[in-house]
Amino acid sequence: MRLRRATALLASAALVLGGCGGGGTGGGNSGNTPTPTPAPPPSGGVFSPPAQESLTVAEVQQIIAQAAGEAQARGLPSIIAVTDRVGNVLAVFRMTGAPTLMTVSRETIGGTAAMGTEIGLQGAQVPAVTGAIAKAITGAYLSSSGNAFSTRTASQIVQQHFPPAPTTVGLESGPLFGVQFSQLPCSDLSQRFQMGGGAGAMIGPKRSPLGLSADPGGFPIYKNGVVVGGIGVMGDGDYGFDANILDTDLDDEEAIALAGIQGFMPPQDIRAEMIFVDGTALRFSDAAAGQLSTLQTNFGAAQGALVPVTGYSDGTVRAGTAYGTEASGIRAATAAEFANPDAFVLTDGNGNPRYPIRAGTDSASIAQPLTAAEVRAIMEEAFSVLSRSRAQIRRPLDSRMQATVSVVDTHGAVLGIVRSPDGPVFGTDVSLQKARTAAFFSNAAAGQQLLAAGGDVAGYVQRVRNFLGDANALTGSHAFADRSGGNLSRPYFPDGEVGQPPGPLSVANANQFSPFAVGLQTDLVAGNIVQHVTYVATAGAQSDTPVGCSNVPEAAPGQRRVANGIQIFPGSVPIYRGNQLVGGIGVSGDGIDQDDMVSFLGAHNGGVRVGGIGNADPSIRADRIEVNVNGRIVRLRYINCPFAPFLGTSEQNVCQGL
């Protein structure tokens, strides 16, 4: 989707806004906060919930003052945003002379997109405040008491090769390839800012104006060793990513954000550089505390002013809400809501669960929808598997996996969402995207719905059918897990093999691919993003994007099958009753193989427990699909489970034969 018209509109609204390889140690030790002694698990539980910490108004002001002082010392007037852990924007500070607009990077696999040739979001000019907010939300949402990730970490794990570098061409894509298009402004899960406060005003997770960010300059904020929010800085007007992880960047925005979190740093032993994926250390920061100027802590001395941001902030400083409280929108479940004593659920801020377990709503489309008892069995069994599993992205080693589990019906209606106590917040929206994506692409109506969406979206149907050599593709003949659809969404097929054709759900020309233009995932929601940033830029003079993403038609009144966008990295499977699709389960928050395993075993074990439901028959799973790639036969993938995943047992190959 080309955004040149939107760019012009946003530029005209500028005046409205005017009023592990290489690198260092990831920020140094200055301002460390200790790893807290965790509270004991609840009776019968295995997880220790994080302490209920939050930022005060004075602490938000201190963080802004420190960042603004560093920006002044570096001569880079910037916009500084601070959020709490569930995404509430606590303040936006615009320094005198900070940019009003920023440009989304034109960098692609093939070089740089020339003016007029951009696709997706490439080259779009958008309000600079949206970049700062997206960076802050990314730092907060990707982090937990077991891992501290930054926007630089995000950049490392979303690109076409992992790790991204000129010398790694030919390796598979990043483990969270596509996660940048989550937490979208059109998501029906993510909450929206409410003026005036009151009960329910601070519940999360809140939406992000641009999804998650890969532009360095965003960090999590910790207090007493507990993640309480994030900071994002936009000063150079360029919204991009780091395509080469092997060098060390001198990034002023990152240094400014790092100054902001001095005294609020994550514990050293949980930062990204202490966490390895496929033998590669992740990256937290290229800036170090020793490179910073003398800290300025006087908020009154900061050169600039607090500014309102339509849809996000009223221009004042707010205290953060403590994650785990009713006010935050995510809290411990009651015994009536979920049987497992460790479970957390999403709430409305008034004591009521937002997504209580319920039966399927799709009786108009299928003969026997999922019952509430079946949904409960699947979710409880998935949570049980999660609770026994060894984490990949958490410290210390041999920690338990933490994540979110979502179950949907064939219309995309949410039948239940449950979280472990300290799962990263990003996994909430993503687990729902995954569940819906698996159910959507396995549905007999998938091709028809994409065609009905029109525009660029419709063209993907014939591309898939041509690529697979199957005129009936996307009509329910095969079960697609997110890993399967993800295979078809890479700029090279097979994944990472340069010189091979792009997958049919990726961009048509691999040389045009970038993290801002990935193919169908982008085209489904680009219009929503453009409408939303126009709403922000015009201070509400233009209408906001509606709740519910994409132009895919409603499955039933008020029900859209992909109402928060699709996801294209692993962690979901469709659910069947015999040969009838009845729903999908998605898991997100840890390693992708762990996410695959919990969804697959959750569906299987839930079916064994209640009978009649479970995973797709092996004969129709997408890994039976063979693709002829330049004379070589390649199969799609379905799931990939860890070899020996459970704590306290040497059990191996736990998904084999199921």
pLDDT per residue over 568-578, tens digit each?
999 999 999 99
Residue 21 has pLDDT above 50, yes or no: no
Banded pLDDT at 92 (limits 50, 70, 90): very high
Task: Express each pLDDT in 60-78 by its tens digit.
Answer: 999 999 999 999 999 999 9
Q: How far is CA 626 from CA 70, 507, 636, in A?
A: 55, 21, 7
Report yes or no: 471 and 462 within 8 Å, Cβ to Cβ.
no
Q: What pLDDT is attached to residue 44?
A: 83
Task: Express each pLDDT in 93-152 by its tens digit.
Answer: 999 999 999 999 999 999 999 999 999 999 999 999 999 999 999 999 999 999 999 999
* SS3 state at 294: coil
Task: Express each pLDDT in 434-445 by its tens digit.
Answer: 999 999 999 999
Q: What pLDDT is attached to residue 14?
A: 38
Q: What pLDDT is attached to residue 32?
A: 55
Q: How far is CA 176 from CA 92, 136, 169, 364, in A?
A: 28, 18, 17, 35
Report yes or no: 243 and 161 within 8 Å, Cβ to Cβ.
no
**Percent of the chain at pLDDT exceeding 70:** 94
Banded pLDDT at 197 (limits 50, 70, 90): confident
Q: Phi/psi of residue 308, each to 5°?
A: -75, 150
Query: What is the pTM for the complete model shown?
Result: 0.95
Q: Phi/psi of residue 17, each to 5°?
A: -85, -15
Q: Which two tokens stand for residue 182?
A: 């989550």
Which one is the CATH code of 329-442+570-635: 3.40.630.30, 3.40.50.11400, 2.40.30.10, 3.30.450.150? 3.30.450.150
> Cβ of 647: how many Cβ atoms within 10 Å?
14
Pairwise CA distance, residues 640 & 53, whole Å: 37
Residue 582 has pLDDT above 50, yes or no: yes
Residues 519-538 as b/e (b if ≥16 CB within 10 A, e otherwise) read bbbbbbbbbbbbbbbbbbbb
Report yes or no: 76 and 91 within 8 Å, Cβ to Cβ.
no
Pairwise CA distance, residues 119 & 395, whole Å: 39
Residue 451 has pLDDT above 60, yes or no: yes
> Cβ of 11: how many Cβ atoms within 10 Å?
14
**Percent of the chain at pLDDT exceeding 90:** 92
Q: Phi/psi of residue 257, each to 5°?
A: -65, -40
Decide if 4-32+76-107+122-306 and 329-442+570-635 have a common fold. yes
Residue 488 has pLDDT above 80, yes or no: yes
CATH 3.30.450.150 fits 4-32+76-107+122-306, yes or no: yes
Banded pLDDT at 40 (limits 50, 70, 90): confident
Kindly give the residue spans of alpha helices, DSSP state H, lying in 33-120. Answer: 57-74
Banded pLDDT at 285 (limits 50, 70, 90): very high
Pairwise CA distance, residues 400 & 450, whole Å: 39
Residues 6+ apart with CB under 8 A from 536: 127, 129, 130, 209, 309, 310, 311, 312
Q: What pLDDT is attached to residue 132?
A: 99
Pairwise CA distance, residues 398 & 556, whole Å: 45
Pairing of strands 554-556, 572-577: unpaired
Pairwise CA distance, residues 507 & 529, whole Å: 19
Report yes or no: 370 and 582 within 8 Å, Cβ to Cβ.
yes
* SS3 state at 314: coil
Q: What pLDDT is attached to residue 43?
A: 79
Q: What pLDDT is attached to residue 38?
A: 63
Pairwise CA distance, residues 561 & 587, whole Å: 17
Task: Express each pLDDT in 507-553 by its tens digit.
Answer: 999 999 999 999 999 999 999 999 999 999 999 999 999 999 999 99
Banded pLDDT at 199 (limits 50, 70, 90): confident
Lowest mean pLDDT among 11-15, 122-126, 290-294, 400-404: 11-15
Pairwise CA distance, residues 581 & 558, whole Å: 21
| Mean pLDDT computed over every residue of the chain | 94
Lowest mean pLDDT among 196-210, 230-244, 515-529: 196-210
Backbone dihedral region of 417: left (phi > 0), alpha (psi from -120 to 50 degrees) or beta? beta
Pairwise CA distance, residues 319 & 90, whole Å: 6
Closest CA to 207 of 542, 566, 515, 564: 564
**CA 600, 604, 607: angle at the middle one, nearest 5?**
145
Q: What pLDDT is attached to residue 13?
A: 44
Residue 373 has pLDDT above 90, yes or no: yes
Banded pLDDT at 24 (limits 50, 70, 90): very low
Residue-range domain boundaries for the chain: 4-32+76-107+122-306, 329-442+570-635
Lowest mean pLDDT among 26-40, 175-189, 585-599: 26-40
What average pLDDT does the segment 43-65 reach?
Answer: 96
In single-letter form, the type of residue at position 628 comes to N
Q: What pLDDT is attached to residue 17?
A: 38
